[in-house]
Structure 1
């Protein structure tokens, strides 16, 4: 585990690639798709600094690194779409820490790569912490790993236009129930339309993932983020007073329906943050991560931080 504790994202500058400090210098380097794929598998996360990338030119970089960008369909985080499957990073209030997670790990399919781009750096804070998923898994107590071995069941309650959390229309980027049902059928999810126009979705998913290239087993679920206890005692109590657990915007149990103990969810959250490495942002920076090896989050910040994200 000591080797995993020393892991850091690989940083690459124009001097490292022997090219100019321009977006063209970066795109020339990235045209070697196969070589970059090997680098990303080995490094797990790569940060590019000093290439003078702007919001107007970042798409040319994304086209090379994320050739088939995915829409953020069935995502549970509030975002704004700003381009061709390019989104703002999560729009949760800036004073909150967002705990570690692998993007869409609760879904039937997930992106293998994420790219983050700093269009405007924050005044203070705002780092994106990243954590090695193998270290995260190995850092958990054996009883916690064993309890999660059978997988987890996620429950999502999506309102039809008014209520807590996101609507099903926002979540699936459609107004069509038929399109939603087609998506969920392909995702091997269970669902039901409720009398009030809300949608309840249940998904049985794994808790860990074995990386196809490295063979490493990593923690790969969002049980802590879907668990009320991880929101803090005060928020959890407020939600419990409003709704039963099964009617919350999102909740989680073990695969057999057994409740996940509060302490297990909190341990997963805290160990991920404990072992994370902060990536600070400067205008024009980019970071690409292997979503199957690395979890990510967000530190609190001040100022008009603008980070864009895309996935493939």
Structure 2
């Protein structure tokens, strides 16, 4: 069945139950099984409940059954609280973060993400969300066919000094044995380098997968995020002058090792953002997304936007 181009997130607002964490808990009880609600809606936004940050833990306990650490993450984040709560991203405010499914390049990923607005941005700063089925269907046939065989991700993680994230930041540990166990579980090809860094290459990953509950095929990869073309022409050129492709902090190829054309990457990048629905933020709002069914990103903003995120299996 074709995806509906008019899809929108479901919004839940306070009724007679009031606002705050208590009001949201009452609203959740009225919804019934939240797992079923999320599978059907794909994204649920809890709007105008004015949940205070100090109440967030009690709400997350209901919405995220098992909060996960950001293991193997590539985005710069800071853990801000116990229970695996992080800043949503720390890229400069003027940058657009393209659509993606969290940790789709790894062998394990969260099923749900929860976003919470602690500080309303001065302007902009929406979190766009895109239906993964629609994203896949929107791609030109030539591009889909090229990605059908899957892709392979590569990462070079330094030991503390260098471009990108260190392996200690990426895996939230300084214990090599913990990292090695994770990589072996994911069938990575990896080695420690002479300077203390880590070189890792993933097995072939699919470009799209079937949703575990609905069976719907959805675009599910981060090829554009790992590809220099998504960084912009100037940045890509500068990196290419400094480093060989195999030395970049992160890179991606087709399954056979062949290069992915820049035009394909820009096509995927552009279609995701064009089809996305923006979720604007007000302090105290929450959003839960099905991380397989939809991709998410971030629009540029001004002011002191502060959005927190937690993840769950």
State the TM-score bracket (shorter-chain normalisation): over 0.9
Contact 1:31-1:64 within 8 A present in 2 as well: no
Equivalent residue number for residue 20 of structure 1: 18
Offset, 1:22: 2.3
Equivalent residue number for residue 175 of structure 1: 174
Q: Return structure 1 stretches of 4+ with deviation > 4 angstroms.
A: 31-34
| Number of positions where the alignment pairs a residue of Structure 1 with one of Structure 2 | 310
Equivalent residue number for residue 66 of structure 1: 64
Equivalent residue number for residue 153 of structure 1: 152
Please list the CA deviations of residues 281-309 of structure 1 after superposition, one character each: whole Å capped at 9, or x if unmatched.
00000000000100000000011100000
Offset, 1:213: 1.6
Q: Distance in 1 between matches of 2:30 and 2:201?
A: 41
Equivalent residue number for residue 5 of structure 2: 5
Offset, 1:28: 2.9
Please list the CA deviations of residues 80-117 of structure 1 after superposition, one character each: whole Å capped at 9, or x if unmatched.
00111000011000000000000000010110100000
Equivalent residue number for residue 44 of structure 1: 42
Contact 1:33-1:65 within 8 A present in 2 as well: no
Does residue 119 of structure 2 align to residue 120 of structure 1?
yes
Secondary structure (helix, strand or coil) at the match of 1:218 reads: strand
Equivalent residue number for residue 262 of structure 1: 262
Equivalent residue number for residue 246 of structure 2: 246
Equivalent residue number for residue 287 of structure 2: 287
Q: Distance in 2 between matches of 1:6 and 1:196?
A: 51
Q: Distance in 1 between matches of 2:171 and 2:3?
A: 41
Contact 2:5-2:134 within 8 A present in 1 as well: yes
Please list the CA deviations of residues 139-184 of structure 1 after superposition, one character each: whole Å capped at 9, or x if unmatched.
1001111111111100000000100000001111111111110111
Secondary structure (helix, strand or coil) at the match of 1:96 reads: coil
Please list the CA deviations of residues 33-63 of structure 1 after superposition, one character each: whole Å capped at 9, or x if unmatched.
9611111111000000111201111111111
Give the counterpart of 1:56 among 54, 59, 78: 54
Equivalent residue number for residue 212 of structure 2: 212
Contact 1:27-1:60 within 8 A present in 2 as well: no
Contact 2:128-2:276 within 8 A present in 1 as well: yes
Contact 1:122-1:301 within 8 A present in 2 as well: yes
* TM-score normalised per structure 2: 0.96
Offset, 1:237: 0.3
Q: Distance in 2 between matches of 1:188 and 1:278?
A: 36
Offset, 1:29: 3.2
Offset, 1:31: 4.9
Q: Distance in 2 between matches of 1:34 and 1:174?
A: 39
Offset, 1:30: 2.8
Unmatched segments (≥5 aa) in structure 1: none
Equivalent residue number for residue 201 of structure 1: 200
* TM-score normalised per structure 1: 0.97
Q: Distance in 2 between matches of 1:130 and 1:261?
A: 25
